Amino acid sequence: MDLGLKGKAVIVTGAGSNIGRAITLGFAREGASITLADIDEQQAQAVAALALAAGAAAAETVRCDVTKLDEVQAMFARTVARCGTVDVLVNNVGWDELKFFTQTTPEFWQKIIQVNFVGVLNCTYTALGIMAPKQQGAIVSISSDASRQGEPREAVYGAMKAGVNSFMKTIAKENGRNGIRCNVVCPGVTIPEESEAVGVNSMWVNKDSMFTADQLAQIAKALPLKKVGRPEDVAGAVLFLASNTVAGHVTGQVLSVSGGYSMIG
């Protein structure tokens, strides 16, 4: 099915690793013109080369720290200069370390808050300024099923992702009149399949520090689908929500892509 994304100007934050990489390559196969925003330029450039080989109309990398509004605005300005607009924003950047709350510090909280929530505010704020006058656009934010269930060792991270869910629903209500659709995808445990799929700043750079092989097997066993997620699983949901062709009447939704871990009606 043609998703109608060919030639669309798409920004993916955190585009170089794991889920962001898979999302970027998914848009590439649809022929989109992609801006890969990442703090890891080398990793993003490697993914941009793969995106061009996969069929992207264009793939430009921009070093961007989403916690800094001036860098976000400069990144969007480069995209507009190249493409004339921004049709789709994917707020993908996220970061965490698995720790019980009593093991964390205020400095750790602030990093979690800045990366996982303030970055979404900065990018969404800037995107709306471009999309609203044109009366069109789609924003998809990557959250987490930790925001819906509550997860040990992810207290602050889960709280920030819950904030993303609520924020995006509000933005959807405020901006539907401007032709802008806003939705959220909540992955469960999603494992990169190869070392090349993660950069040096990724939370998955050392998978064993996140989950042991035995823990992953136990997670899979507990899920209705009996398997942990792969980046491509999340990318498919993002492409669906970004497409006006198949999801043109979908906004304000929070979709779990977690093998059935979260089933919220």
Domain spans, the chain: 9-257
Query: For residue 204, what pLDDT is reported?
Result: 58
CATH number for the domain whose boundaries are 9-257: 3.40.50.720
Query: For residue 216, what pLDDT is reported?
Result: 87
**Whole-number average pLDDT of the chain:** 93
CA neighbours closer than 13 Å in the CB half-sphere of residue 265: 0
| Torsion sign across C-alpha atoms 196, 199, 203, 205 | positive
* CA distance linking residue 86 with residue 131, whole number of Å: 7
**9: helix, strand or coil:** strand
* pTM metric for this prediction: 0.93
**Tokens, residue 90:** 């994917």
Query: For residue 211, what pLDDT is reported?
Result: 78
Query: For residue 214, what pLDDT is reported?
Result: 86
- CA-CA-CA-CA torsion for 64, 255, 101, 160, nearest 10 degrees? 50
* CA distance linking residue 91 with residue 14, whole number of Å: 8
Residues (pLDDT < 50) of the chain are none
CA neighbours closer than 13 Å in the CB half-sphere of residue 242: 31
Cβ atoms of 128 and 11 within 8 Å: the answer is no
* CA distance linking residue 67 with residue 52, whole number of Å: 28
Query: For residue 77, what pLDDT is reported?
Result: 98
Q: Is 125 a catalytic residue?
A: no
Secondary structure percentages of the chain, helix, strand, coil, to 5: 50, 15, 35
* CA distance linking residue 19 with residue 192, whole number of Å: 8
Query: Which one from 117, 157, 167, 204 is the annotated catalytic residue?
Result: 157
Strand ranges in the chain using DSSP code E only, listed in sequence order: 9-13, 33-38, 58-63, 88-91, 137-142, 180-187, 254-257
Query: For residue 224, what pLDDT is reported?
Result: 86
* CA distance linking residue 34 with residue 13, whole number of Å: 10
Query: Any bridge partners for residue 61, and if so which?
Result: 36
